[in-house]
A = this chain, B = another copy of it.
């Protein structure tokens, strides 16, 4: 039973968007209340965890009944800062960046791609979804003008740190990094990293273990 705007456990924050997605789906299919058990199933977590997470937001459930979907959506969106549509800059419109620029999930879930940048002058001017690609040297002026605080980095790893520095000095304070490298940034800047190959490598580890098990060994066929 905490106040809104308080600091939540990081693990809870990471799950709230998933709850939000599930709630929207329930709302779209005509529900207007849901039990912790039902929402937990829809979000792929267990019900005790869900209740504890939601209890941090203040009380939006009624015992014996469940949670009111409408107000709960509103509360989660408020806590996540999604009541405003946030402007996002995307740097690097290569293979992956091009797809991200057109990704409908961003626009449908609270964000607006406000600017596209690339270092390759032959790509500058190209339009993606009606938005023109700008040169990275325009980052300072455009980021300030549009008050962009979040950036998506889809450049090659070799360029990522330099571009990140430029974004940060232009005022960006959150970065979603798709480049396979670690960024060093000031404390006030948040970075989240998504490395697609790493995800596959983690799956590969589990595949490797499974195939070791069918060999009937507890350890491994080795050397």
Question: A: which residues have CB within 8 A of B?
Answer: 3-7, 13-14, 16-18, 20-22, 42-44, 79-82, 86, 88, 95-96, 98-100, 102-106, 108-111, 149-150, 152, 173-176, 180-182, 188, 190, 192, 194-212, 217, 219-220, 222
Contacts and interface: CB of A to CB of B under 8 A. Distances in A.
A100 B5 contact: no
Contacts of A105: 180, 195-197
A208 B80 contact: yes
A150 B14 CA distance: 26
Nearest to A107: B197
6 contacts: A5-B212, A43-B182, A82-B201, A86-B207, A96-B99, A110-B201
A131 to B, nearest CB: 15
Contacts of A4: 219-220, 222
A82 B203 CA distance: 11
Most buried by B among A182, A201, A212: A201
A95 B106 contact: no
A74 to B, nearest CB: 11
B111 A103 contact: no
A116 to B, nearest CB: 15
B13 A202 contact: yes
Contacts of A17: 195, 197-198, 201-202
Contacts of A7: 209
Given A188-B210, A192-B203, 6 more contacts: A5-B212, A20-B201, A21-B198, A22-B182, A111-B204, A190-B207
Contacts of A199: 176, 192, 194
